[in-house]
Amino acid sequence: MRSNHTSGYGWTVESIMKKAMVIGATGFGGLGLIEIIRRHPGMEITQLVDIKDTGKNVSDLFPHLRGFCDLTIRPPDGIDFQEIDIAFFSTPDRAGMALIREFHKRKIAVIDFSGDFRFGTVRDYEVYAANRGLEKSHLAADLLPEAVYGLPEKYADRIRSARIVGNPGCFSICMILGLLPAAESGIISSDTIIGDGKTGVSGAGRNSGEANLYPQRHENVNTYREGTHQHVVEVENVINSLGGKKSEILFVPQIVPLNRGILTTMYMDIVDGYDTGRMLRVYRDYYNNKPFVSVTDKSPNTADVRGSNRCLIRPIVDPRTGKLVVISAIDNLMKGQAGNAVQNANIMLGLDETAGLDVPAFYP
Amino acid sequence: MRSNHTSGYGWTVESIMKKAMVIGATGFGGLGLIEIIRRHPGMEITQLVDIKDTGKNVSDLFPHLRGFCDLTIRPPDGIDFQEIDIAFFSTPDRAGMALIREFHKRKIAVIDFSGDFRFGTVRDYEVYAANRGLEKSHLAADLLPEAVYGLPEKYADRIRSARIVGNPGCFSICMILGLLPAAESGIISSDTIIGDGKTGVSGAGRNSGEANLYPQRHENVNTYREGTHQHVVEVENVINSLGGKKSEILFVPQIVPLNRGILTTMYMDIVDGYDTGRMLRVYRDYYNNKPFVSVTDKSPNTADVRGSNRCLIRPIVDPRTGKLVVISAIDNLMKGQAGNAVQNANIMLGLDETAGLDVPAFYP
Amino acid sequence: MRSNHTSGYGWTVESIMKKAMVIGATGFGGLGLIEIIRRHPGMEITQLVDIKDTGKNVSDLFPHLRGFCDLTIRPPDGIDFQEIDIAFFSTPDRAGMALIREFHKRKIAVIDFSGDFRFGTVRDYEVYAANRGLEKSHLAADLLPEAVYGLPEKYADRIRSARIVGNPGCFSICMILGLLPAAESGIISSDTIIGDGKTGVSGAGRNSGEANLYPQRHENVNTYREGTHQHVVEVENVINSLGGKKSEILFVPQIVPLNRGILTTMYMDIVDGYDTGRMLRVYRDYYNNKPFVSVTDKSPNTADVRGSNRCLIRPIVDPRTGKLVVISAIDNLMKGQAGNAVQNANIMLGLDETAGLDVPAFYP
Amino acid sequence: MRSNHTSGYGWTVESIMKKAMVIGATGFGGLGLIEIIRRHPGMEITQLVDIKDTGKNVSDLFPHLRGFCDLTIRPPDGIDFQEIDIAFFSTPDRAGMALIREFHKRKIAVIDFSGDFRFGTVRDYEVYAANRGLEKSHLAADLLPEAVYGLPEKYADRIRSARIVGNPGCFSICMILGLLPAAESGIISSDTIIGDGKTGVSGAGRNSGEANLYPQRHENVNTYREGTHQHVVEVENVINSLGGKKSEILFVPQIVPLNRGILTTMYMDIVDGYDTGRMLRVYRDYYNNKPFVSVTDKSPNTADVRGSNRCLIRPIVDPRTGKLVVISAIDNLMKGQAGNAVQNANIMLGLDETAGLDVPAFYP
């Protein structure tokens, strides 16, 4: 389909815009997609789908979108399958599990934000589901072998030809990116890698219940699900598939009073011979041609990635104890969710990987 | 000068990019310009100037800019006047007052962020300077008659041909936009218009002193400069130049714990015959073709304009008291500063008024 | 009843402790009462009552109370009426309306936090109820003539002998205290007094729904119920009962990202002959012997009253416009709710008015 | 000296109040002491000392103190040594180092908030000073052997007879209390204990420079001094003096957008035979009679200790990895500073350990 994209000059650029559907349009994930795709030169949203607020204009619900996205929200049974190049399922666990089959039958590319398609086997899914307190039976188990874990910095080639991509968990992507260079180079020697995570409140979603009311979160920090967070499975799956030392992740997440942002600090033993300088070279080499990962020798700030798709990583070899400390920071709604999903979509659709995503953090 | 602008598809668009210089590069105003112009299809920053941190790469100072803007900061005496289409002076009061003459001599368009060129007469400047506690003597008094007040919604025609534009104060623009339709239609009948303003902390600038340390501002709201804020002169100048009733502004600003955002609530008497519905029509008609002003019948949220150049305005005629209440909201660093400046620059340079600025607020 | 109160020295002071019951124990109001009465030398809580979480220890629900208050929460039908000197109803509108009769029959002093007993006539209640969207019929209309409006700075004498006190709304008390000296001295000459209010999020209560989730409130300010807030009736009732000019209040509340705090800024015309200095004397004289009101010539900060029962008031006569501006600040959970209620209880029970309440704001 | 302390009933209790001097009166530490001692039944502040703002009334500088503490600030050369039972040095490193000798000569008890007297040997001080970038020479080295580390939960007996107490660092006390039961029971088997700390911004002090301006701290989390924080020496000193396994602390602090609060999460290997249940018993037994330490099996929130002197500790033995995770939370200005100092003072002066400190956290 051809559409007109008007530049700032008033020129008209005739181009082929890819058509995106967003299901789960009114959550943080859906809204993030609307914001990103609005500035995407090769993609446009043509259908918004949700199970509530159907029939309403999204910009009546979210006034900041007026004039930028004024689509009416359709119910799932109003989806027009003819007009979709890419379907984003920004839906909770199990909400899209069965419906995705309809898209797969029609060979429409799907990116799912839940845990439904992050695992290649039913068995891994069942561990995840148990951690989350979900029903264990996968309703589309036959599709799992085709699903690809949506981590472009590692699996771009498989994502390119995938029809179903499971977009990673926000903590998972932050930790995995921080560990990949050391893990893949066989540098890690710990049985246990310690991950200490801090996340902003938007990580709990837009309708996140009483525990996330302002007076409960403001001026408060607390741990939760110590050692039992559901994202650990994903991290271990990736890290232990690289041929090096197998490690377990002991992960303690914490909620901090931010809207957006994740900072993870990881601690592990390493083989001999590395100091911070050498480790920085390993990390920089590894991410040399990855547009969204920045390796740094300064202390990462979540503010440095706020609103951007960037992951900022600092590896330090502590001279006193010999341990490797890796600090990684992302915006949980961007590289931790909608931004990473668009990056995956770009790869799947043959667009430039950075299209729609080449913006810096907003400051302050 | 021709440069190559690469789209997300990998196409190369050959175009004429306007070259911008930013002086005061490391304040919030300068950084805002870098972020906005980075996504501008017809403008690029070619020189960053400041009196401190000269010789350093701006992205060493502000890591979020790495890969987006990696220019070295020049001292003022390193400015290359040959390569500038537009000069943004994001400098404090009086800092650029004399230097701007050098640009004017060379017929380079200038937009100044301070109060130096917001007033057409020396006398008005002196009132402003007294309120601010500044020296009264204007060092470029001969240029004042040429300077245009940078309010595009009212003075676009004069801005188009201006060579010096005084970008308005953040509170001023928020209040003036809220008052213009009523004032210009002769609806206001008060001797005194009451303005109650709330601003985020970034309004005080990046190096804003002890009073703006986190523990002093977090979990605190206070009034300041009650009735004596320096932006009042600007508002009265514009509102009382429209031929209707002359009014004084009684303005009480308040600092609220936000990074970004201004919300002003104004109260005034009006002539008979208006209810909220009719007033909404007056406001909507007035701003009908203004791309950055949205009139609404819902309560404005600063979050609805955060990161965008939009001004959101709600007029209400209170049925009990007959008074007009106008609520207006902007992002003080966007429509209240750098965004409005780029809008002015677009007009001065013959570009589309919205170029670089057509992005929605980020949410949450 | 005699109980032992152990001082910091280990001395035992034998004293008569008044026994308080708190119904609505797990809201912000109930919790505030627990914190205050914990440090009260002449009052102790002996019964906590609620309709949910009954049978649980309050310190299992709120770990910060462990060791300070470990009472089990009773259901309303478990109340022991024999052992109550004062009953605090920290309940929503209409929740305690009928039950309070049971206390009244037994001559037990009651302080109600809702609007149920703030009005002396059924007619005023109906206006309030309509603004709140409540049922209009009052279920204890016969008790209204006995109920006293719980504003100790004005009605201490009536409170002293009252058996039912309606504790004022948080915005009401902040505005009334700011207006009383001018209103009672016949200084106000406006038909309309403008009130611009800013409140922290705790004002909406502990279970305040989706609109008050952290990501919706953080980094956001908005107006709401412009001109129609239910507290206006209370303010007009008091101000217009003083024999001076009758005025209407045009009140626009705003939510600001604080946990605690209200700041109101009020604007009005006044009779001739007052400048700021003279007005300060009027205010200081009026509140001369009121322990919880501080008149100041500095800009009030909500941080200056955070956690304390103090109301901070600054009157300014604007020399340009001649209007009186009054800024008043309270902690909405203290002087705006539980603190004021304990002050009322002290008066009703013949204790020192400041008992349990003589603590400064916590800083920062 | 006898003074009159008036109870809430209007009774007059004649008692002997201990007289405290606070030097460094206008920092967070000094202000915290004023707030705490104001409610102390056996101690009163009679002298406030500082090097700036001398001659001013402290309540002119901090309006929340008006009526609660209205003392004039004296310069150090205006100290009246005759009237001091306890001197609090809430001063930066090295500021009180020499002056403390004057108090020691006169046998006046001193509690110092800096690192000057936290170490028993010049050598330890030099390590600390190097980490802090301070001059190494200790100006009162002869007094070090007499100084006691002010950790009442461990050294109450020595504090009781000490004349100089070095009040611990805020992170130190939070980590040490979390480690003591395991360390003293010989349960820890790691060479390296990992400490991951999160602190509110007040930890940097009241005049904490540009890095702590509101827009830099709001909506931001970052690490700093990774592995090199000066408090590590203190933790290692205490933990490694207990006769068990010697361990190094690898500590990574993080600044989170809170006014108050520290949460530390620690990870270590342990000897066989412990699960969470048994570990909870070890911790509960250890702190059985310590009034300010609460062991819990729920996730600690900094909000649960905000404004109180409590330390909340949760030990978990992770069943997958076998590691011990200990989470501890304090208010950095209370148990992390002024509250702990008053606890030490109570012990030194023979008062009840909890006097002035038996208040719960304020919520919300």
| CATH code of the domain containing C80 | 3.40.50.720
Q: Which two tokens stand for residue B307?
A: 């990161």
Structural domains in chain A (count): 2
Which D residues in the span 219-258 are in contact with A, Cβ-Cβ below 8 Å? 219-224, 226-227, 248, 250, 252, 254, 256-258
- Asked if residue D359 belongs to a domain, the reply is no
Active-site residues of A, by number, are 170
Q: Are residues D266 and D340 in the same domain?
A: no
Count the Cβ atoms, other than its own, within 10 Å of residue D51. 13
Mean pLDDT of A219-229: 97
A vs D: CB pairs below 8 A: 154
Q: Determine contact, residues D90/D73, Cβ cutoff 8 Å.
A: no
- Judged by DSSP in three states, D218 sits in coil
Chains that touch A (3 or more CB pairs under 8 A): B, C, D
CA pair distance D263, D301, nearest whole angstrom: 8
Q: Are residues B163 and B175 in the same domain?
A: no
pLDDT at A234 over 50: yes
The per-residue pLDDT for D191 is 97
Q: What is the ipTM of this complex?
A: 0.94
pLDDT at A243 over 60: yes
Helix ranges, D269-363 (H): 276-286, 339-348
Least Cα separation, residue B68 to chain A (angstroms): 7
Helices A276-286 and A170-184: crossing angle, nearest 10°?
110
Q: Determine contact, residues A72/A48, Cβ cutoff 8 Å.
A: yes
| Contact at CB, A218 and C214, closer than 8 angstroms | yes
Q: Determine contact, residues C317/C272, Cβ cutoff 8 Å.
A: no
Q: Are residues C158 and C251 in the same domain?
A: no
Mean pLDDT of A49-63: 97
- Asked if residue C271 belongs to a domain, the reply is yes
The per-residue pLDDT for C94 is 96
Contacts of B304 in chain A (CB under 8 A): 63-64
| Contact at CB, C327 and B250, closer than 8 angstroms | no
CATH number at residue C303: 3.30.360.10
pLDDT tens per residue, range D274-330: 999 999 999 999 999 999 999 999 999 999 999 999 999 999 999 999 999 999 999
Q: What percent of chain D has pLDDT over 70?
A: 96
Residue C270 is classified by DSSP as B
| Contact at CB, D223 and A299, closer than 8 angstroms | yes
Q: Which two tokens stand for residue C163?
A: 């058996």
Instruction: For Cα atoms D357, D363, D364, give the angle at the middle one, nearest 5 degrees.
Output: 145
Characterize the bridge pairing of strands A248-255 and A311-317.
unpaired
- Asked if residue A113 belongs to a domain, the reply is yes
CA pair distance A85, B57, nearest whole angstrom: 42
- Judged by DSSP in three states, B258 sits in coil
D131 touching B (Cβ < 8 Å): no
Which one of B14, B33, B64 makes the best mutation probe of the A interface by having the most chain A beta carbons within 10 Å?
A: B64
pLDDT tens per residue, range B57-98: 999 999 999 999 999 999 999 999 999 999 999 999 999 999
B213 touching D (Cβ < 8 Å): yes
Contacts of D362 in chain A (CB under 8 A): none
Q: Are residues A256 and A243 in the same domain?
A: yes
Characterize the bridge pairing of strands D262-268 and D293-295.
unpaired
C216 touching B (Cβ < 8 Å): yes
The per-residue pLDDT for C10 is 40
Q: Are residues C146 and C238 in the same domain?
A: no
Least Cα separation, residue B214 to chain D (angstroms): 4
Q: Are residues B142 and B112 in the same domain?
A: yes
- Asked if residue D362 belongs to a domain, the reply is no
Q: Which two tokens stand for residue D15?
A: 């008692």
Q: How many CA atoms lie within 13 A of B58 on its CB side?
A: 30
Q: Are residues B93 and B147 in the same domain?
A: yes
pLDDT category of residue A15 using cuts at 50, 70 and 90:
low
Burial code (b: 16+ CB inside 10 Å, e: under 16) for C264-281 equals bbbbbbbeeebebeebbe
Mean pLDDT of chain A: 94
Q: Which two tokens stand for residue C19?
A: 């026994």
pLDDT at D241 over 90: yes
Question: What are the residues whose beta carbons fall under 8 Å from the beta carbon of C157, sequence distance 6 or more?
Answer: none
Active-site residues of C, by number, are 170
pLDDT category of residue A265 using cuts at 50, 70 and 90:
very high
Q: Are residues B287 and B192 in the same domain?
A: yes
Q: Determine contact, residues D114/D94, Cβ cutoff 8 Å.
A: yes
Given D69, D170, D174, D311, the catalytic residue: D170
pLDDT category of residue A12 using cuts at 50, 70 and 90:
very low
- Alpha carbon distances (Å) from A256 to A132, B163, D327: 21, 48, 15
| Contact at CB, D196 and A192, closer than 8 angstroms | no
B327 touching C (Cβ < 8 Å): yes
**For chain D, how far is it from start to end, CA to CA, in angstroms?**
39
- Judged by DSSP in three states, B336 sits in helix
pLDDT tens per residue, range C212-256: 999 999 999 999 999 999 999 999 999 999 988 999 999 999 999
pLDDT category of residue A207 using cuts at 50, 70 and 90:
confident
| Contact at CB, D250 and A325, closer than 8 angstroms | yes
Q: Are residues C123 and C219 in the same domain?
A: no
* Lowest-pLDDT choice from A208-212, A280-284, B277-281, C35-39: A208-212
Q: Which candidate, C188, C313, C172, C184, places its Cα nearest to that of C247?
A: C188
The per-residue pLDDT for D134 is 94
A2 class by beta-carbon count within 10 Å (0-12 exposed, 13-18 middle, 19+ buried): exposed
Q: What is the pTM of this model?
A: 0.96
Contacts of B250 in chain C (CB under 8 A): 267, 318, 320-321, 323, 325
- Asked if residue C358 belongs to a domain, the reply is no
| Contact at CB, C259 and A213, closer than 8 angstroms | no
Contacts of B327 in chain A (CB under 8 A): none
Q: Are residues D147 and D232 in the same domain?
A: no
- Asked if residue B128 belongs to a domain, the reply is yes
pLDDT tens per residue, range D4-60: 444 444 444 446 899 999 999 999 999 999 999 999 999 999 999 999 999 999 999
The per-residue pLDDT for D278 is 98
Query: Which residue range(s) make up the domain with C343?
Result: 3-168+336-348
Mean pLDDT of B179-185: 98
CA pair distance B280, D327, nearest whole angstrom: 56
Nearest to C214 among A28, A207, A214 (CB): A214
| Contact at CB, C320 and B248, closer than 8 angstroms | yes
Q: Are residues C136 and C216 in the same domain?
A: no
Q: Determine contact, residues C333/C28, Cβ cutoff 8 Å.
A: yes
Q: Are residues A36 and A77 in the same domain?
A: yes
pLDDT at C11 over 70: no
Task: Name the residue with tokens 């073709």.
Answer: B289
pLDDT tens per residue, range A145-158: 999 999 999 999 99
| Contact at CB, D257 and B218, closer than 8 angstroms | yes
- Asked if residue B155 belongs to a domain, the reply is yes
CA pair distance D117, D208, nearest whole angstrom: 23
**Continuous segment of H or E residues that includes residue B98:** none
Count the Cβ atoms, other than its own, within 10 Å of residue C212. 22
A214 touching B (Cβ < 8 Å): no
Which A residues in the span 255-314 are in contact with D, Cβ-Cβ below 8 Å? 256-261, 263, 265, 267, 299-303, 306, 314
The per-residue pLDDT for A210 is 87
| Contact at CB, B63 and A294, closer than 8 angstroms | yes
Contacts of C219 in chain B (CB under 8 A): 258-261, 302-303, 306, 364
| Contact at CB, C9 and D304, closer than 8 angstroms | no
pLDDT at B205 over 70: yes
- Asked if residue B360 belongs to a domain, the reply is no
